[in-house]
A = this chain, B = another copy of it.
């Protein structure tokens, strides 16, 4: 009886809610967890199968979180939340563990500690939906998977899902300063309100945790890798502990970035030398203090001897000596140390792209078991396109963690639409030993991370977060997709960027096929568009100084050679590109850092993928590219293609106006308009500059830049977000 009343109400409510022509405005705060009232037909399909939630009587915060989310989701869709009960009844959602009465052992096969199974079956004679797992964490992930299933298919099919994560460490790295500035943040201030912590707990912390749990993200490094000593003082440990308490029920561990010289700067020791017993003792005591406050504390992330940060080199110690000292402090508590490989020499003028490899490969095998070396996806710095970092596959005795950047430091901030799923996937799928694994599995980067390629230890992925206080969390609605795809790929690196784009679009905007097809098509083409209008054919690091906004290929006046765009593109009258072939051929030798099969490809322009051509080769402007066009013509062609692709995205988005709520539609349309103008600017400024170098005429039919090179050089960008 109550059920039919509820259904009637839902139907009436939905009729009412959908009376207007356009969907109601949304601000994006709900991310992909929107749970808006279902259309009547879908509600009628779901309601008979979501009448109650049956859960183990002995509860836990994580189980409560799972049930809370199921109630929120089903409650949002149907108008009334299913009640929790401990008796199986027809139409219930049953959260089952192996000890659950009537549970089938096969449900739990191979689920491990984090996996789940969701199926429609009979239990104690009743038709129910089972979410099965060996742990309450598995039930949490299974509950989110169940909800995702309904959100993407409208309860058309009986749920039938099974998944286990391939990587154990699925982490966000927040580059959030203690004053709430976010380095490379384009979504407002830090969501961590350090000043108000530990006493005042914003609802946003919980909603952040829910969003991450929905993806399987299980760790968060709370503060910037450019860390301050304060983070390890008692007041800040208490603040971090308060956050840990909010995140724990959602399966998320807290980690901290630490400054190498903390004990010295806090005047607790006279040195930061890792081999000084007093220093090691300080770190051990500090770790004990941390674990007393946060029993499941994850560990430390360290940026050392990198871009001015202190580190063990200051004491003539190696990265391994530095990392191991910290690792021994957290080892008794089960903690880990993530030691970043983003280093480039403080003094040596060798090719920056090769320096991390040069510094770290000699240390392979010297790191303690609980040290993981965290490596950026490419050897320079989060460019729109880079080749894979040569360290992957080159440290067989050292577990490596992937560091992706979710925030778009070099890809148009939160203004430009650029779906990073294709970029992440491109790296993860790179075959490090092409041809070698012909008989079996390719030697992909994913297999470095899951440990099957060499060292045997599965690690994971870290993503530099794009999250801030902006109401939609990520600055733009489409940038939510980059958080989403990072999490989904961290769970399963082979899930497929397009499939993930489709499920994100369905949850975030609408299940209408027209919407899913169009939005995912925009997303899938978007990153290549950015590469084309910013850094085609393997160009890189030609952005404006410091803020990294807009084109500045002309910059040649910075203190270090390898901070200057001219260092990277090396354009001259004769040609363009960075020769990274073997020393014997006059190159920097970076191509030779890859495994031989891959290095061979990169040594020869003819076999180098054209999208990395100028990364590895300095070529004459007349070099014939695969299209048959000379290099200069091809370059201009690519810039144009990038601009054209943005115009196409604008048209695609415009066509969706009837399907998307006005607020999110207008916001995105505004950003696409800016992106189009800035794509043109990138094209024009780049062409004007390179033409000033090579003196060549524009290819036939190509439009001249709208302004003079001096005009572009004169542009100033005060107060950029995310800087410094």
Check if A4 is an interface residue, CB within 8 A of chain B. no
| B-chain residues with CB within 8 Å of residue A663 when the two chains form the complex | 203
Check if A671 is an interface residue, CB within 8 A of chain B. yes
Pick the contact of A189: B25, B177, B413, B469 (CB < 8 A). Answer: B469
State the CA gap A12–B16 with chains docked (Å): 11
State the CA gap A670–B202 with chains docked (Å): 10
CB interface residues, A 1-49, toward B, < 8 Å: 9, 12-13, 16, 19, 25, 27, 29
State the CA gap A79–B19 with chains docked (Å): 10
Pick the contact of A9: B12, B180, B413, B677 (CB < 8 A). Answer: B12
Is the beta-carbon distance between B667 and A195 smaller than 8 angstroms? Answer: no
| B-chain residues with CB within 8 Å of residue A194 when the two chains form the complex | 719
Closest partner residue, chain B, to A718 (CB atom) = B230
| B-chain residues with CB within 8 Å of residue A415 when the two chains form the complex | 196, 200
Query: Provided the pairs A188-B188, A188-B469 are in contact, do residues A670 and B199 lie with their beta carbons within 8 angstroms?
Result: yes
CB interface residues, A 220-238, toward B, < 8 Å: 230
Number of chain copies forming the complex: 2
Shortest A610–chain B CB gap in Å is 34
Shortest A230–chain B CB gap in Å is 5
| B-chain residues with CB within 8 Å of residue A719 when the two chains form the complex | 177-180, 194-195, 230
State the CA gap A189–B668 with chains docked (Å): 22
Closest partner residue, chain B, to A196 (CB atom) = B415
| B-chain residues with CB within 8 Å of residue A199 when the two chains form the complex | 670, 673-674, 677
State the CA gap A378–B415 with chains docked (Å): 44
Interface string of A198-222 (1 = CB under 8 A from B): 0111111000000000000000000
Pick the contact of A721: B13, B79, B180, B469 (CB < 8 A). Answer: B180
| B-chain residues with CB within 8 Å of residue A600 when the two chains form the complex | none
Shortest A186–chain B CB gap in Å is 8
State the CA gap A79–B195 with chains docked (Å): 41
Pick the contact of A469: B25, B80, B469 (CB < 8 A). Answer: B469
Interface string of A158-182 (1 = CB under 8 A from B): 0000000000000000000111100
Check if A720 is an interface residue, CB within 8 A of chain B. yes
| B-chain residues with CB within 8 Å of residue A671 when the two chains form the complex | 200
State the CA gap A204–B663 with chains docked (Å): 11
Is the beta-carbon distance between B469 and A178 smaller than 8 angstroms? Answer: no
| B-chain residues with CB within 8 Å of residue A201 when the two chains form the complex | 670
Check if A157 is an interface residue, CB within 8 A of chain B. no
State the CA gap A596–B202 with chains docked (Å): 52
| B-chain residues with CB within 8 Å of residue A204 when the two chains form the complex | 471
Is the beta-carbon distance between A178 and B718 smaller than 8 angstroms? Answer: yes
State the CA gap A354–B230 with chains docked (Å): 41
Closest partner residue, chain B, to A476 (CB atom) = B200
Shortest A675–chain B CB gap in Å is 10
Is the beta-carbon distance between A27 and B179 smaller than 8 angstroms? Answer: no
State the CA gap A673–B199 with chains docked (Å): 8
State the CA gap A27–B207 with chains docked (Å): 12
Check if A498 is an interface residue, CB within 8 A of chain B. no
CB interface residues, A 465-487, toward B, < 8 Å: 469-471
A-B contact pairs, 23 of them (CB 8 A): A9-B12, A12-B13, A13-B13, A13-B16, A16-B80, A29-B471, A177-B719, A179-B719, A180-B719, A188-B469, A189-B189, A189-B469, A194-B719, A195-B720, A196-B415, A199-B670, A199-B673, A199-B674, A203-B667, A230-B718, A469-B469, A469-B470, A471-B471
The 6 closest A-B pairs by CB, nearest first: A179-B719, A189-B189, A178-B719, A200-B670, A199-B674, A469-B469
